[in-house]
A and B are shown apart, each in its own frame.
Chain A
Amino acid sequence: MLRRQFLKNSLGAASAVALSGCGSRESRVQLTFGSYADPGVDILKDEFLPEFEKATGIATEWVEADFSGWFQKALNDGETKAGAFDIYVMDDLWVPRFAGAGYLANLEELGFQPDPDFLPTAIDLGYWPPKTGPRQPGVDPAAKPTLFSLPIVSDVQILFYRRDVFGNTPPVAWEDIARVAREHSNPAQRKFGWVTRGVRGNPIMNSFFVLLHDFGGTEFDEQWRVTFNSPQAIEALEFYLSLLPYEPEGVAEFDSDQEGETLLQGNALAATIWTGWCRQTDDPSRSRVVNKIGFAVPPGHEKRVAKLGLFMAGVAASAPHKKEAAEFLKWFSRSDVQVRFARAGGIPFKTSAFKDEQARSNSRWLDAILDAMTVGVPSPRTSDWSKVEDILGTHLNLALLDKGKAKQHLDAASAEATAFLKSVGYYAS
């Protein structure tokens, strides 16, 4: 009797569990986000995904890896159409590759229309083919730019400078940086006027990018001919190298972590750094220069620009839950959500959020970021930029080690990049 009762109860319980499982699967969709690990997305991940879940009843899962590891995973998922992810979080550099190869769903077809509150420089990065500039070979010259991804966190390189040295007015010209570096550097006391990233490839290229554009140089002309060995580019590199005596020994192996730490430890007077470091400057557990750092658009020469490097989000073409993924993007880009995101310490991508009084008083760097975003310039919009950046970044690193020979290294980089671009079909015969 007892055994029969036990079996009956067990069967009943098992059926109930199985049925409730089926029910929950049907009613509760789970969105899977794939991302690279970065403190820049922490507020979104930790505070806003739970809020989205509560507001919509859609569950979320956040899968992350290191930058290279996630790029590889996302590439595999896109190429094989595996459907392991609903939303790809991407560096804006990846958009040409992912949108061009068909890994991303068309957001306009999913019912997304950007409103005028989006920062133009931010939303433009989500279009493919690009709205402006030349189009890479194989891309239809007549194709209409289509929205494939949205900014999810703004990021741009801004000038971090010591207010106790420069005063409250930020330096506006590169010559100001050089003058203060000359006057205040004292390597024996580990006091340096400037600090930069020197690791070959992307890190040094990120440091040089602003100077290249400020001095009137560019990477390519309208026909994709390489122009980074122009007289303006050479002058920019010579200026970059002229700051070396006022920098720590071994900057050729500095990446953003060493660059940021040098500033936070009070050893450097200025640097152009990604905005992810802003909050740490006022954190006494991380910084020896609390409230001493000012923020501004990087200085200029012929013009004044900043390097964009946004976190973008796109719906995977193979996503199992496209509708819900688009719903998340619509929700997160609502202006009221963006204002709350900015108040919580996130870097928004809508003008109204940047101008919110409470957000501005919580994060004193927001004004500088908005100014920098407004004059922001992205990396060239081609899926082959990573390779060209590697070539140029390697020769910049060599110039740094040689402490000179700017023209020689830029000519060599130009020749190598031209040969590469020719081999992948950029120049007709």
Chain B
Amino acid sequence: MRAKRLSWALIAPTALFALAMTVLPLGYSLLTSFQEFPLGRAPVFVGLQNYRNLLQDNNFQNSLITTLIFTVAATAVEFVLGLGLALLLKDEFPFQGVIRSSLIIPMVIAPVVVGIIWRLLYNADVGLFSFLVQTLTGKSLSVLSNTSLALPALILVDIWEWTPFMFLILLAGIQSLPTEPFEAARVDGASAWNIFVHLTLPMLRPVIAVAVLIRALDAFTVFDQVFVLTQGGPGTATEVATLMIYKTAFRFSQFGYGAAMAVALLLLVACFSTAVTRAFKGAS
């Protein structure tokens, strides 16, 4: 009994800290989402009005779709490239340390700096992409003011920055796999492809689940690059949910509506992560 009390007492500070840092702000956001903040007056309780408005807000629904496309496309490509790089660089080779270190450089650059670098690369006058297109076709290309290219351009930036993260996690996962099953398969004459499909992938599944989930959750909340590169434009082509929430709450001072958007995004992210987790569990 005494030992139990002691264990509760030892856990209590951490639990209280976690409560103060996570549950309280979430609870406050939820409370805010049921309120309206008229100019110069006290907040007014409006019940579910903000959520009803959300259901009719085409712009917010479009921003959720844009966020979903961004997340799925970026995470999928990052996974494929990260896995490919991990398989390629898993064995010992000369200059291994230098090559692996240089691969993770994009990941350690601040997202705002990444945004500025790519803004220059995409620039119609001095950018690399425009130069290449001009060399080939004689016409310059303004990537970020093209409604069809702007979102893929943002996805490319995310892929450039975060593929190293996938690579690192998957490489660690591959290197931690037991060697015996692979040796046995080779002795039995299994092809490299069969080994990859029937051994590497299934054994790596828990690591893949974690890597995909972490990257997807991060991609859902992308903000810095969009803010620096496109501000959600051209038109609303790259308006992701976080940018819209930020503008609604802090630029337009609609705190209640912005909080309702944040809660809706949280629910979407929770559904998405549950679906991904179940998919991986089901497959195993």
Chain A residues packing against B (C-beta within 8 Å) = 68, 71-72, 75, 96-97, 100-102, 136, 138-139, 190, 198-201, 248-253, 383-384, 386-387, 390, 394, 397-398, 401, 423
Contacts and interface: CB of A to CB of B under 8 A. Distances in A.
B39 A397 contact: no
Contacts of A200: 231-235
Nearest to A393: B233
A252 B146 CA distance: 9
B136 to A, nearest CB: 16
Contacts of B234: 200, 252-253, 397-398, 401
A403 to B, nearest CB: 12
23 contacts: A100-B39, A136-B39, A138-B38, A138-B41, A200-B232, A200-B233, A201-B233, A249-B125, A249-B140, A250-B124, A250-B125, A250-B140, A250-B144, A252-B233, A252-B234, A253-B233, A383-B253, A384-B252, A386-B253, A387-B251, A394-B235, A401-B145, A401-B147
Interface in B26-74: 38-41, 53
Interface string B236-251: 1000000000010011
B145 A97 contact: no
Most buried by B among A253, A383, A397: A253
Interface string B65-91: 000000000000000000000000000
B277 interface: no
Given A101-B39, A139-B39, A390 B235 contact: no
Given A97-B253, A394-B236, 5 more contacts: A71-B250, A101-B39, A200-B235, A252-B145, A253-B233
Given A199-B233, A200-B235, A397-B233, A75 B250 contact: yes
Contacts of B236: 394
Contacts of A250: 123-125, 140, 142, 144-145
A334 to B, nearest CB: 32
B273 interface: no
B143 to A, nearest CB: 9
Contacts of B254: 387
B81 to A, nearest CB: 28
A249 B235 contact: no
Contact of B250 (A72, A201, A253): A72
A248 B125 contact: yes
A200 B124 CA distance: 17
Contacts of A102: 40
B235 A401 contact: yes
A190 B41 CA distance: 54
B235 A398 contact: yes
Contacts of B39: 96-97, 100-101, 136, 138-139, 383
A401 B144 CA distance: 11
A200 B233 CA distance: 6
A253 B142 contact: yes
A138 B124 CA distance: 47
A102 B125 CA distance: 46
A244 B252 CA distance: 31
The 6 closest A-B pairs by CB, nearest first: A250-B142, A250-B124, A252-B145, A200-B233, A387-B252, A253-B145
